[in-house]
Amino acid sequence: MFGFDAYFYKNRVLIEGAGQYKTNEILTAFLEYDLPDLRELLESCKSYERKLHYPETFDEVARFDGLVQRATTFFSSLDEMIDQLPPYRDMKRKHNSLFELMNEHRYFFDNEPGIDHYENYPRPEYNDHFYTDLTFSDLDPDMCDGALQLNQKLRELVEQYRIFVEDCIRVKEVYAVFLEKLHQDKEYLNAKETAEVYRTFTSGLKERIRTYDKFEPSGTMSEVFVPQTIDDELVLCEKYRFSTLGGVLYIDLFKGLNNHFLPRRCGLCGRYFLLEATAYSLFCTRSTTDRKEKTYRDLGHRKTYADKVNSDPILLVYTKAYKQHYARYLKTKMSQNEFREWANYALELRQRAYDRELSFEEFAEEIRK
């Protein structure tokens, strides 16, 4: 239900049935998406894993249809959320899986209690309800086998949803924290530095018991190499078959680590964006809310430079002197050539001050001339 085939080539991943994505584009979308309370969703999944089976007691018989109706609503709401996220939003996923599964075994159940389905009351094509008055121990041997098959399918169905929710928890509570550690130096790390951050981070997770609290993939995966046409060119791709979302996120993240395709949180708007091995930036390229022609990257770099100026006395003096001389040029009190000569000289003075060939006082006095 949540598994798919994926082809990896350079900094791209092609999802069968869902198109092409950049490396870590899917992870960025999950980090950015405002997911509901995942721990609450997980507890609901675990509850349905325990309770969704053919009723074994008369109390379970009485509550069974209500349980199925609540579970159907719950998993339908999960499907609606999943359909908003890549790669599933581009797939034609099957919905109402629980409803379809229950109807595969509708011979166990009555759609309307108290009605005998004879000639005048034929059974409906699909059940909307699933009532029964028999416990598991009341079934004959053939029916017991069918009930066991139903139980197995119910466990497998709910397990897939549970693992999906656990994968989302790992994204929000493990991958997000790891990425914060990775971006602490505010620049791309080399292979050794990346390995050191990873080793330190994962060593702190060793005592955790739950798999979704650890840095590891879920489900199963297998790999082969296959030829694939990409951009009208036949190339050799790594093809993986993943049984879960967690598998593809894990592999894709490490490919991004090697190639500097990494999600990070914008230093101004706080939302995630994808760094694409270009110049490292703390800020995204989304338009600001009040000035659509400006991006957060424009504002952020300006703020970063201003913070640097205010914390660097040499740069502060240089910036003030530059503005004063540029104003003279605009007022035609300096020619373009004069301003250009002064600007080159000012850069030389600034470097000499950094190299301590000039004292700060000498630099400040000379650059104002």
> What token pair was written down for 278?
């270009």
Q: How far is CA 70 from the centre of its chain?
A: 28
Flag whether the pTM goes above 0.75.
yes
User: Tens digits of per-residue pLDDT, 266-288?
Assistant: 988 899 999 999 889 998 998 88
The string of pLDDT tens digits covering residues 156-174 is: 999 999 999 999 999 999 9
CA atoms within 13 A on the CB side of 332: 0
pLDDT in tens, 198-226: 999 999 999 999 999 999 999 999 999 99
Cα-Cα-Cα-Cα dihedral sign, residues 362, 363, 364, 368: positive
CA distance 346 to 158: 69
Q: What is the mean pLDDT of residues 340-368?
A: 86
Cβ neighbours, 10 Å, residue 164: 22
Residue 117 has pLDDT above 70, yes or no: no
Find, among 244, 273, 193, 223, the residue nearest to 27 by Cα: 273
Share of the chain above pLDDT 70, in %: 94
Model pLDDT for residues 229-240, shown as the tens digit of each residue: 888 899 999 999
Q: Are 246 and 7 within 8 A, CB to CB?
A: no
**Whether residue 292 has pLDDT greater than 70:** no
Residue 253 · residue 240 · CB < 8 Å: no
